[in-house]
Structure formats: C-alpha cells, structure tokens
Amino acid sequence: MEAILFAVRTKYSDVTHISTEELASWLGSQNSTVSSGSASEISEMVPESQGIARSPEPNELKHQDNIILLDVREEDEYKVSHLEKARRIRDDLNAEEVEELLKEILKPFNEKEPEEELKIVCYCSLGYRSSDLARKLKTQVDNVKPTTPVQVFNLEGSIFKWANEGRKLVDNYGNDTTYVHPYNMVFGMTLKKCLHKYK
C-alpha cells in the first residue's frame, strides 16, 4: 500500500492529504460533527444523474456540522460500505457540476456568520479518484473565495486503509459493517482479504 500512497501523493502533490488517524480524531471530537453535505438540499439541486447518491434516510445538515464527507466511488462500492454520513459523488464531474456541488455544500454556511472552518474530506478506494475531486473542489474554492473558510482534503489510503485499521463503516442501510468492495483484483490486494465483499 505504501507504494500506492506515495504514487498518489506524487501525482496529486497540490492536494492536501490527511491521515486516517487525523480524520478519526476529527470525527471523535465533541466539537466536530459529521455532515452529509446537506443531502436533502443537494439532492434537490443536483440530481442523482449528476453525481449525488441518495441514501435511504438522508441526514439533515445541522449548522454546527463542519465536516463534509464525500465518497468518490461507484454505486456498487458505496452500497457495500462507506463512512457514516458520507455522500456518494461521481468521479467524473465536470467544472459546472463541481461548481454546483460546492454551492450546495456552502449554502447553509453562507446564511450565517462563519464560526469555524468547513472541512470537505474526499475518499475513494485508495485515493486516486478522491484526489482528483479534491483538486477540482479546491480550484473551485479558490475561484469562488467563499465567506466561510473552507479546506478540502483527500483521505490518504481512503476506505481501504480505514477498513484495514478496523474503523467504523456502515452499509447502504446504515448498519455497521466491516466489509468493503475491493474495486478490482489489483487494488483489492491492498485490502485485507477477509474484508472483501462485492455485493
């Protein structure tokens, strides 16, 4: 896995990468609650065909939420497992779709005085797809210059590293699970074999 992580860091050196340990500490902090990225509002403005997958019971965004989790994988992968409250986003969004996504993420925060930094964390299987989206979002943030301070991150090692470390995952129905879709035979070699599940 280290070779792949190095390749991702090298290819996406302009992206801010954070460790699974750092994200876990944010999610475990009493002051940092996780947001679904305003699922109900985003789903209205950006249809599923444009990259947002609706979960069976979308979580409402609370104003104190300052961490947005974006799962940049295919629907089959997301259904097996994902980080709790993460929203699935296509990995091939064009510039207009990225702009629309950022607007909808920022909408609840633009309606109040900025209190703390908004953290958008992208992840996929190992980090290639999520780094690409993180780069696009960061470019959009730089162009828009929102009043709310925003940082965009790629989760280093993404869901494979998260799962290998035994961290919390949920399935498509919100139930705890340890399984992860291995993506393909090659990348799947970096995920513990006992965690593999395709459906």
Distance (Å, whole) CA 89 – CA 133: 9
Q: Residue 81: which residues within 8 A CB-CB, separation 6 or more?
A: 159, 163, 169, 170, 171, 177, 178, 179, 180, 181, 197
**Band of the pLDDT at 59, cuts 50, 70, 90?**
very low
pLDDT on residue 113: 65
Q: Is 90 helix (H, G, I), strand (E, B) or coil?
A: coil
Domain 2-195 listed as CATH 3.40.50.720 = no
Q: Does the pLDDT of residue 168 top 50, yes or no?
A: yes
Structure confidence by residue, pLDDT tens digits, 1-16 = 899 999 999 999 999 9
